[in-house]
Amino acid sequence: MANIISDETIEYVGILAKLELSQEEKEQAKKDMGSMLDYIDKLNELDTEGVEPMSHVFPVHNVFREDIVKNGDDRENILKNAPEEKKGAFMVPKTFD
Amino acid sequence: MSLTAVELGKKIKAGEISVKEAAKAALDSISKAEQDNNCYVTVVEEAAIMQRAEQVQKQIDDGILTGPLAGVPVAIKDNMCTEGLLTTCSSKILENFVPTYTAEAVVKLEKAGAVVIGKTNMDEFAMGSTTETSAYGETKNPWNTAHVPGGSSGGSCAAVAAEECHYALGSDTGGSIRQPSSFCGVVGIKPTYGTVSRYGLIAYGSSLDQIGPVAKDVTDCATILETISGFDEKDSTSVKREEYDFTSALVDEVKGMKIGIPKSYFGEGLDSEVKSAVLAAAKALEEKGAIVEEFELNLVDYAIPAYYVIASAEASSNLARFDGVKYGYRTNSQVGLHEMYKRTRSEGFGPEVKRRIMLGSFVLSSGYYDAYYLKALRTKALIKKEFDKAFENYDVILSPAAPTTAPKLGESLSDPLKMYLGDIYTISVNLAGLPGMTLPWGKDSNGLPIGVQLISNCFEEKKMIRTGFALEQTREYERCPQAAARD
Tell me which DSSP letter residue A5 carries: P
How far apart are the C-alpha atoms of B140 and A49, rounded to whole Å?
46
Give the pLDDT of residue A59.
79
Let me know: does B218 contact B246? Beta carbons within 8 Å: no
- Please say if the pLDDT value at position A60 is more than 80: no
Among B18, B20, B29, B77, the one annotated catalytic: B77
- Please say if the pLDDT value at position A97 is more than 80: no
Among B90, B153, B171, B176, the one annotated catalytic: B176
Give the pLDDT of residue B265.
94
Let me know: does B395 contact B253? Beta carbons within 8 Å: no
Give the pLDDT of residue A2.
83
- Mind listing the pLDDT tens digit of every residue in chain B (487 residues)? 999 999 999 999 999 999 999 999 999 999 999 999 999 999 999 999 999 999 999 999 999 999 999 999 999 999 999 999 999 999 999 999 999 999 999 999 999 999 999 999 999 999 999 999 999 999 999 999 999 999 999 999 999 999 999 999 999 999 999 999 999 999 999 999 999 999 999 999 999 999 999 999 999 999 999 999 999 999 999 999 999 999 999 999 999 999 999 999 998 889 999 999 999 999 999 999 999 999 999 999 999 999 999 999 999 999 999 999 999 999 999 899 999 999 999 999 999 999 999 999 999 998 999 999 999 999 999 999 999 999 999 999 999 999 999 999 999 988 888 888 899 999 999 999 999 999 999 999 999 999 999 999 999 999 999 999 999 999 999 999 999 999 8
Q: Which residues of B touch A19 (CB under 8 A)?
A: 342, 345-346, 349, 354, 357-358
Region label for B410, one of left (φ > 0), alpha (ψ between -120 and 50) or beta (otherwise): left
How far apart are the C-alpha atoms of B342 and B320, rounded to whole Å?
11
State whether B325 and A90 contact (CB < 8 Å): yes
Coil, strand or helix at B260? strand
Task: Tell me which chain A residue has its CA closest to the CA of residue B371.
Answer: A44
- H-run or E-run covering A85: strand A85-86
Which of B341, B346, B382, B427 to mutate: most A Cβ within 10 Å? B346
B163, with CB counted inside 10 A (0-12, 13-18, 19+), is buried
How far apart are the C-alpha atoms of B157 and B126, rounded to whole Å?
14
State whether A58 and B458 contact (CB < 8 Å): yes
| C-alpha dist (Å) from residue B332 to A84, A94, B335, B462 | 12, 14, 9, 52
CA distance B414 to chain A (A): 11
Q: What is the pTM of this model?
A: 0.97
pLDDT digits (tens, 9 = 90+) for A16-53: 999 999 999 999 999 999 999 999 999 999 999 999 99
